[in-house]
């Protein structure tokens, strides 16, 4: 079976990227990461990509004329490597509807909350402030809204009254490292079917 071609877009350390690379190594994903793109030139994720001999590109928003130019450069970098699935693994920008529409049901994102609760930035802080008893992460398809696309997988962790931002974030991150590779593996095995708001996982 031909390996599916994956592009990963990141803004930071790339620990979720690393989790995907390890799952590929263990044959849990029938795919290969063919390009890593970051909007930050000093993102450690690009170092991880270099060490793994993966093509990597920095597309700085400041160096682009506008958002359209920025997204066009990302799109070009993905298409140059014939990417089939785009994975947002800690990418801290919202993609426009025109970008998303070009990649229908082929962009997935990991979010550190149980959507639809606590969308947007600092979901862990929002959850703590609200006093939730459980928290977690969500892998979802990206649509035109912010963290509103059809949900693929969710993982749950307990939230304790004495939690700090970091203790809760670390507990959620452990589950992100399981959930994102699992979702990527399902997509690459053609086991995800989107019907309206719902994602069905084929047996």
How far is Cα 4 from Cα 1, in angstroms, rounded to an integer? 9
Which residues are annotated as catalytic? 111
Helix (H, G, I), strand (E, B) or coil at 129: helix
R_g of the chain computed on alpha carbons: 16
Beta carbons within 8 Å of 18's beta carbon, 6+ residues apart: 48
Query: Nearest-CA neighbor of 142 among 190, 108, 187, 186?
Result: 108
* Block residue for tokens 């977690």: 136
Classify the C-alpha dihedral 78-84-89-95 as positive or negative: positive
Number of residues that this document lists for the chain = 203
């Amino acid at each position: 079976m031909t390996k599916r071609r994956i592009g990963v877009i990141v803004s930071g350390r790339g620990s979720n990227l690393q989790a995907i690379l390890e799952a590929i190594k263990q044959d849990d994903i029938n795919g290969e990461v063919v390009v890593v793109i970051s909007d930050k030139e000093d993102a450690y994720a690009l170092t991880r990509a270099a060490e793994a001999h993966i093509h990597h590109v920095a597309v700085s928003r400041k160096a682009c004329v506008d958002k359209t130019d920025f997204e066009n450069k990302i799109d070009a970098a993905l298409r140059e490597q014939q990417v089939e699935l785009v994975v947002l693994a800690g990418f801290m920008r919202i993609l426009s509807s025109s970008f998303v529409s070009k990649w229908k049901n082929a962009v997935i994102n990991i979010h550190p909350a149980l959507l639809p609760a606590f969308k947007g930035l600092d979901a862990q802080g929002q959850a703590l402030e609200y006093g939730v008893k459980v928290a977690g992460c969500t892998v979802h398809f990206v649509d035109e809204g912010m963290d509103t696309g059809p949900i693929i997988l969710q993982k749950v962790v307990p939230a304790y009254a004495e939690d700090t931002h970091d203790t809760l974030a670390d507990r959620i991150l452990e589950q992100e490292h399981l959930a994102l590779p699992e979702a990527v593996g399902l997509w690459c095995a053609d086991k995800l079917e989107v019907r309206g708001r719902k994602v069905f996982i084929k047996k």
